[in-house]
Every structure is written in C-alpha cells, then in structure tokens.
Amino acid sequence: MSDISKSMALFAKGSAINSHGSLEFYGTSVQDLLEKYGSPLYVVDTDEVRERAQYFVNTATEAFHNTTVHVSYAGKALLTKRLVRIMLETGMHIDTCTMGEMRIALAAGAPGRRLVLHGNNKSYEELELAIREDFDKIVVDEPQEPARIAAIAKRLGTRARVMLRVSAGIHAGGHEFISTAHEDQKFGVALLSPTQNQTVPDFDNVSRETLEVLRTSPALRVLQEILKYPELELVGIHSHIGSNIHDADAFMQAAKRMMALRKTLYCTDAYTLPEVDLGGGYSVAYLEDEDSMDIALELQKLAQSVKETNAQLGMPMPVISFEPGRWIIAPTGCTLYTVGTTKTVQLPDGTYDSKGNLIHQRRYISVDGGMSDNIRPALYGAEYTAVLANRTSESEPVLSRIVGMHCESGDILVHERYLPQDITRGDILAIPLTGAYGRTMASNYNQALFPAVVAVSKQGSSVMLRRQTIEDLLEYDQD
C-alpha cells in the first residue's frame, strides 16, 4: 500500500488517488494544481466546507431540540469572502475580532445582524463600525468596555447589543496558550475572584450557598453595570474554554457555571439573560491514530446536561450559541509543497524515535515553504503528517523530518514521519489538516510570499486568495 493510501482519511472528501498514484481533487491532480497556481499552495475543498458547516448547524439544532440555537463560524480560522457566503447560506453567523475580519464579512454581503465582534482590545473604529452596522453581538471583554460602547451608541443615537465574556475557570484543550478559560490570561472577566477560587462552590448541584457566592462574582458586577446603560441591550454571556477539545465534559462543567451565573443575575436584578454562548474548540484528528470529536454524540450529552441544569435552577432554557472554526475548516484543507534539498544526518548512539525504535540516522526533506505558511508546529508544537503526493513509491520508508526554507533551526513542519527513501527534488508533499490557522497565521518572514488559497469543488478549481508577488512586497517598501 502506498504511503498516501494509509492517510487518505485525513484528506478532504473530494480527494482521491488516481491511476498514476497521484493525489487529486475532483479529478485534478496535484501536479496540475501546482502548474496552474504555483508552489507552495493551500487547497480548500469548498464542497466539504459547506457540508461540514451544515452538519454542525443541523446537529446542534437537533441536539437542543425545542431550543433556539445560533452557530457562528469563527473567522479567525480562515476567512475569505467566499467562505463567508458559504457560512451564511448554511445558516451561520460570522464571528469576527478585527477590523479586517469585519470588513471582509461585510464586503461578502453579511448583514450586521449575522455578525459578532470579539476582542480583548477593540478599537474605537471597530466598535463604531459594529454599532453602525447593528451587529448581533459585541462581546464585552473587560469591566471598562461597557462605558465605551455606551458612549459610542449614545453619540450615534442607537443601542448596542452586548454579551459578556466570562472566564469560567474550566481549563481544556492542548497548549497552555490555547486554553483560554483560566483567570491568569487576557480574555474575559472572571466568574470567581481569587479568594473564591480557593473554595470553589459546588456547580454540579447548585444550592442557595452556590448562588450566594456568585453574588460577589466579578462577572456579575459587570453584568449589573451593563444593565445601567439605556444604550446597551444585554443579550447574554459567553464562555470559551480552549481549543481542540475531544469530549463534552469540560463544556458541561463550563455550562453549569454559566447557568448558575444566569440564575444569580435573575435573583439579584430580575433579569433573564436571553442567550448563553458556549464557544468553540471542537477537536479534529491531525494524525492517523487520532480521533475527532464526535459532534453528534458530544452535543447530545451537552444538551442533556444544560437542560437538566436549567430545570434544577428553575430557569427557562436560553438561546444556546456555538462558535466552531477549526472543526469546520481544518479537515477541508491541505498544503502542497515542492521538495528541494534532501540530506541524511547521522544520529548519536542511543537515539530512539517516538515509538521507541532505535534509529541511527534521519532524513531531512526541505520544501519551498515552512514556518511562514504554517507557524503552528513552531508556535505550539503542533503535530502534522505528510505524504508523497505525486507518485507511488516502493522504496523503503525511512525516518524523515520535513523542514522549511527559513533561517531558523525550529523551522520544522513535520518532526517525524517515515517516508519513502527515494523522495527527491521536484517531488510533491502534501500536509493535510491545514485549512485552519495556516494561511490566516502566515507571515512574510525572510520576505517569503503568501501562497495562494485555491478552492476545489465539483465545479473545478479557482483562486480564493491570490498568491502574493514580489511587486506586492516592493510596494509596501516606501523607501
């Protein structure tokens, strides 16, 4: 079996291996794609984007039957005008967090009431645009922000719909920098003060004592502050606990805390928060031996827990919101590279690979991209796999490391992979699962150019984001 055959489950559904042993998308080979659009190249299966987006919306709606569900696509994962239109057509909102993301969504035709604005340091201009365009939600991230939003809304003679981001104290996900619900970080307002965190109340069986503790919650104080402004409409609370989370357990714990806070605000101010946003962070499998979150199963478990909690609290169900990004877009994309230099390095005695096999040498395969088009391995230690994509090889697999072209020893795309020994200059490697946080986190390090993002579908292939050119770089340079 060829190397690529073992890994096909990681590629988008529109991919296949043709009779020449080459990876292709809807009948177009990787060789043809690179010849037409250049190398390296991001490839996104937009038919599968639509399918995954619609599946998430339908599955969440079914899980929370008899409850209104809103799903927002987290644009930070990858945002283009075409992707915005696909998401809107599946019933999604668009979650933005910068002026650039806002303007792309608006340029794609998104109405304000289908847009959300996040951000821990929103500019005056961003807030003004969101208020002018009547965004569905502006997510308040710190205690002074309500006053700023209210002042802008008052000047514009309108009201702004706001939601408070709450740090629930539930830690989930992978790398520390993407576990975002603990209190010692930049996002949100804490549910519990440091003193309260020393003796966390029981949120599994919320009692009068639990609600009493929450009466002094920092988050509750901000909610009460928001209610003082006639220019603000308080529409809910928001929790985001991390990224690439495999099951519903942590979401369930965070949801219980959000529902208890909602009950406390009702008890103190007779105000029923209309909506609770449970964020995103649903996992995908980056390697052959990993699993993605079973969305249908885990959302059913989450829905049951949320309904039971609200019944226990004697509260009506709120609108439930989600913000998937990676889960929708990551598996639909891959990056194609052309191989350049290859060399074999002798290793010290007693060196083992990740599976405990004694190894004596490692093959370094350099490609025409690197950390400028996928920073996640260097930034987070994220793991990817790779396949020889332009041909079948019967050559013996050897321990290989795929590295980029940049002036950094940490410029590694795939740390460890057994690949055919005969891989050589001009071959094509494909790395799956780069639809999320590849192009959107790209840089011009070493003045590398941004690769194009090409959409593939049953209708053929076309450019979503064009390749950057040397002329673009020179135009930035004002001498």
Which residue is listed with tokens 């083992």? 352
Give the integer Cα–Cα distance in Å for 287 and 331.
Answer: 11
Give me the pLDDT at residue 376, please.
97
As a residue count, the chain comes to 479
CA 66 to CA 30: how far, in whole Å? 46
Q: DSSP class of residue 368?
A: S
User: 29: which strand partners?
Assistant: 24
Q: What parts of the chain have a pLDDT lower than 70?
A: 1-4, 171-184, 195-199
Active site residues: 407
Residue 314: per-residue pLDDT: 96
Helix 218-226 to helix 249-269 angle (10° resolution) is: 50
DSSP 282: B
DSSP state of 15: E
Taking a C-beta distance cutoff of 8 angstroms, is the pair 233, 161 a contact?
yes
Query: Computed from CA positions of residues 10, 13, 14, 20, in that sequence, does the dihedral angle turn out positive or negative?
Result: positive
The answer to whether the beta carbons of residues 37 and 467 sit under 8 Å apart is yes
Q: What is the pLDDT of residues 278-300, one digit of tens each?
A: 999 999 999 999 989 999 999 99
- State the pLDDT at residue 352: 87
Q: What pTM was computed for the model?
A: 0.94
Cα separation, 22 vs 37, in Å, equals 17
The pLDDT value given to residue 175 = 40
Question: d(Cα 369, Cα 395) in Å, to the nearest integer?
Answer: 25
418, 424, 432, 417: which is closest to 339 by C-alpha?
424
Question: Which tokens belong to 95?
Answer: 């979650």
| Burial of residue 124, with CB atoms counted within 10 A of its CB: 0-12 exposed, 13-18 middle, 19 or more buried | exposed
Rounded CA-CA distance 280/387 in Å is 30
Concatenated DSSP letters for 380-426? H------EE-SS---SPEEEEEEE-SSS-TT-EEEEEEEEETT--TT
- DSSP class per residue in 438-453: SGGG---GGGPPPPEE
Which two structure tokens, joined as six digits, stand for 75?
């644009």
> Under a CB-based contact definition with an 8 Å cutoff, are residues 373 and 438 in contact?
yes
Q: Tally Cβ neighbours within 10 Å of residue 349.
A: 7
